[in-house]
Structure 1
């Protein structure tokens, strides 16, 4: 943790919590990315929120781009993995969100704040899977 900045981390976490809370209060929906994307790609009959879902996803993409290109802030990390690994990772995440009935944002931010036991179990499972993946790939088989 050589560049830990607690103030910006606290501010960022607070903004994420505020956005998730406002999304729920104003729309009555959980701000889980997999549910929003899933509803956009295969909407239910009578769903009145495709524009809202598209705006949410556009904000996730355009927000960081505006920050990087509109300020002097540089990206802190670069993706160096080969494209097949990135695609496989994306497919595995999609499978996991289907299996777990939601993603880290839905369970970890929105579910935990509502004291959902199911979300606690899901979040602990996500975290353990991440810990084990790093242990195996970085320490046991020595991948970058």
Structure 2
């Protein structure tokens, strides 16, 4: 049988749970803000297109390679790679003409007839997971520590 938790150990657990839960919620807030910046970003000037400036541009390109994990495009002679998650059969894509949306100089969306490939590392992609994880840690973690505290103070 396990010895009962001390109040100090339970306090440390509670602090860890709150730091972890709050950290995840802060990361979700940051991802949401970055997503809003991306959606509201101004159009890039030609000089800003391939730079980390907070702007969006849509350029013509050619799809070089498409796999379930990444897409490679040629845009104005530059080879750009975008991570993706494609869970179904990947259509043959080499040489296909596409429209590439760049944000901060990186591809976030590739479009063509009957093809739409979204980047899996856009700011908003992990937001729901971080919100759920943070909320779960704060609620369930706190409830678990409080339950153990009550059990410890009652003597078993």
For Structure 1 versus Structure 2, the TM-score category normalised by the shorter chain is: under 0.3
The structure in which a higher percent of residues are strand is: 2
Q: Which has the larger radius of gyration?
A: 2
Q: Which has the higher contact order (CA 8 A, sep 6+)?
A: 2
Greater share of helix: 1
Name the TM-score, length of structure 1 as normaliser: 0.26
TM superposition score normalised by structure 2? 0.24
